[in-house]
Amino acid sequence: MNETALLFGSLFGGSAVIFGAFGAHALKKIFNDDQLKNFETAVKYQMYHALVLVAIGLSSLPPSDYLTYAIRCFIWGTLLFSLSIYSLTLSSALNKKIKLLGPVTPIGGLLLVAGWTLLFLLFISSKA
């Protein structure tokens, strides 16, 4: 069992439900359709990666560098990707768009891809 993966997976999962409900109810009144779609994308990706972290945490995968780095990539990637989109959509809706956050989103996305790649490499290396 990996406690870090479980901790962040449960934190991300619970907060994704809260953000999703907040977006569907409170923010629906102030967001336009594009902003709402962007916010929902952040919630989906946060939940997807919450689930993979919980799955990793509950799995019997042996400790390895691939696993450690995959978990770190999923955590940091989720934080950078989803939080930057939340911040961008909220600031845009308030007409105070924080343009500095624009480049943060793709960095988060690259970390998420790196996490999946590391997980793939872990599975390949365990079969060798």
Size (the chain), residues: 128
- Work out the number of other CB atoms within 10 angstroms of the CB of residue 32: 11
Give the pair of three-digit tokens for residue 111.
């970390």
Q: What is the mean pLDDT of residues 12-26?
A: 94
What is the model's pLDDT at position 100?
85
CA angle 5, 66, 53 (to 5 degrees): 20
Phi, psi of 58 (to 5 degrees): -90, -10
pLDDT in tens, 43-73: 999 999 999 999 999 998 888 999 999 999 9
**CA gap 120, 69 in Å, rounded:** 12
Q: What is the pLDDT of residues 115-124, one digit of tens each?
A: 999 999 999 9
Q: Which of 54, 51, 18, 22 is nearest to 36 (CA)?
A: 22
For residue range 85-97, list pLDDT tens digits in order.
Answer: 999 999 988 888 7
